[in-house]
A and B are shown apart, each in its own frame.
Chain A
Amino acid sequence: MAAEHAATHAPTAGEYVQHHLHHLQKNFSFGNAEQHSIVDFSVFNLDSLVYSVLLGVIGCFILWRAARNVTSGVPGRFQAAIEILAEMVETQAKGVIHNAASRKVVSPLALTVFVWIFLMNAMDMLPVDAIPSLWHSAGPALGYMNYMRVVPTADLSTTLGMSVSVLLVCIFYSIKIKGLGGWTHELVAAPFGDNIFLYPINFLMQMIEFAAKTVSHGMRLFGNMFAGELIFMLIALMGGAWAWQLNPLSGGFWLGFGQVFAGTVWTLFHILVITLQAFIFMMLTLIYVGQAHSSH
């Protein structure tokens, strides 16, 4: 909608934000599609998929390079940095998962999750219009829609997909450690006690716990990154309002200054947010898998 308008007149603030919040969507026969309801399984967000896979490959490649060139002698700066990272994850894993065999799988998983989410969140650090404006000239020429969002974690599909994967890992470890029978017994007997009359209530509580854990796990990352991205857009609008005025020096001068100032401050604060959110996602993955190991 905003794309056609933008051709005839400069977009208003609302149109600008709406246009930037639109995913490049495709349906499963790879035709251009648009999402019409909040839950729509007939489309997928091509931009989130491409960026998340690309960043995952980059993250794995960096870690693989570090592991290839590892030396037992004096480590270089690169190796030392990766070692600090891996050791940090391993220490956290030791604190919550008391099972050396599972830790062999789960702590590399947590390291991957941390690096991957950090890289995806770090896409927020790019200027908010840089890639979308490149796509504005390249995309329509290639027959794509003129939409592009570069932060994959500001897409609910990505974050809920990851939190559901964590849930599947938890269920896998529950069955592996306690056995199918033990886990089923825990499902119906866990919070209130092993009594036939309490089974339905226990089961209901367990289901609520699983749902709440998974949804809040995904929503937390999404909410943080989405809010961050929106605030970057609002900051960009300040400079936009400055540039749209006929005489830039007439009264909107401070808006241009405001964009630089607010953009710097928010970017610096955002460095903390993206690292913290990646760390929290990793920590909660470890804690949930650790909970799957403990029996009630």
Chain B
Amino acid sequence: MENILGLVALACGLIVGLGAMGASIGIALMGGKFLEASARQPELMNELQVKMFILAGLIDAAYLIGVAIALLFAFAKPFAI
């Protein structure tokens, strides 16, 4: 029982941690490119901003789904005996 609890806790940490890492790298790359692109062509800024927000939501979503699953593991206890 304690074994399972420990493994589930580790799994939740890995899900949230690795997910956060991936999402941060993704958002950072995209935000940097967005700033670069709008510095080169400021007239495209509004158009790109909409697309950037969509992509930010898409990148964020994978991570937040991971957070939801981790929280489910932590509180709803699907692995409890």
Interface residues of A (CB under 8 A from B): 13-14, 17-18, 21, 92, 219-220, 222-224, 226-228, 230-231, 234, 276-277, 279-280, 283
Contact B58 A219 (CB under 8 A): no
Q: Which of B56, B58, B64 contacts A227 (CB 8 A)?
A: B64
Total count of chain B residues near the partner, CB < 8 A: 19
Question: Bound state CA distance, A178 and B76, in angstroms?
Answer: 47
Complex-state Cα separation, A228 to B65, whole angstroms: 10
Chain B residue at smallest Cβ distance from A154: B68
Question: What is the interface of chain B, defined by CB distance below 8 A to chain A?
Answer: 50, 53-54, 56-58, 60-61, 64-69, 71-72, 75-77
Task: Assess whether B58 is in contact with A220, with CB atoms less than 8 Å apart.
Answer: yes
A92 to B67, CA, bound (A): 30
* Bound CA span A223–B60, Å: 10
- Residues in B with CB closer than 8 Å to A222 are 65, 68
Q: Which B residues are in CB contact (< 8 Å) with A230?
A: 68, 71-72, 75
Give, as a whole number of angstroms, the nearest-CB distance from B30 to chain A.
14
Is B76 touching A277 in the complex (CB atoms < 8 A)?
Answer: no
Indicate if the CB atoms of B76 and A17 lie closer than 8 Å. Answer: yes
CB distance from B45 to the nearest CB of A (A): 16
Q: Is the CB of A223 within 8 A of B64?
A: yes
Contact status A220-B61, CB under 8 Å: yes
Add 18 more A-B contacts to A228-B64, A280-B58 (CB < 8 A): A18-B77, A92-B50, A220-B57, A222-B65, A223-B66, A223-B68, A224-B61, A224-B65, A226-B68, A227-B65, A230-B68, A230-B71, A230-B72, A231-B71, A276-B53, A276-B57, A279-B53, A280-B57
Report the bound CA distance from A193 to B68 in whole Å.
Answer: 40
**For A219, what are the chain B residues with a Cβ–Cβ distance below 8 Å?**
65
In the assembled complex, the CB of B34 is this many whole angstroms from the nearest CB of chain A, namely 16
Q: Are B75 and A279 in contact (CB under 8 A)?
A: no
List A contacts of B68 (CB < 8 A): 222-224, 226-227, 230
**Contact assessment for A18 and B61 in the assembled complex, using a CB-CB cutoff below 8 Å:** no
Chain A contacts for B75, CB-based, 8 A:
13-14, 17-18, 21, 230
Instruction: Report the bound CA distance from A92 to B46 in whole Å.
Output: 13
Tell me the complex Cα distance, A230–B66, Å.
Answer: 13
Chain B residues, Cβ within 8 Å of A283: 54
CB-defined contacts of B64 to chain A, threshold 8 Å: 223-224, 227-228
With a CB–CB cut-off of 8 A, which chain A residues contact B65? 219-220, 222-224, 227
**Cβ contacts A to B, 13 pairs, < 8 Å:** A14-B77, A220-B57, A223-B61, A223-B64, A223-B67, A224-B64, A226-B68, A230-B68, A230-B71, A231-B71, A276-B53, A277-B57, A279-B54
Query: Taking each of A219, A227, A234, A277, which has the highest tally of chain B beta carbons within 10 Å of its own beta carbon?
Result: A227
Which residue on A lies nearest to B77, using beta carbons?
A14
Could you say which residues of chain A place their CB within 8 Å of the CB of B53? 276, 279
Contact partner of B76 among A18, A227, A228, A276, CB < 8 A? Answer: A18
Bound CA–CA A222/B67 (angstroms)? 12
In the docked arrangement, what's the CA distance between A137 and B32, Å?
53
The docked-state distance in angstroms from the alpha carbon of A92 to that of B65 is 26
- Residue of A17, A21, A280 touching B54 (CB-CB under 8 A): A280
CB-CB under 8 A from B67, the residues of chain A are 223, 227
Least Cβ–Cβ distance between B52 and chain A, in angstroms: 11
- Among residues of A, the one whose C-beta sits closest to the C-beta of B66 is A223
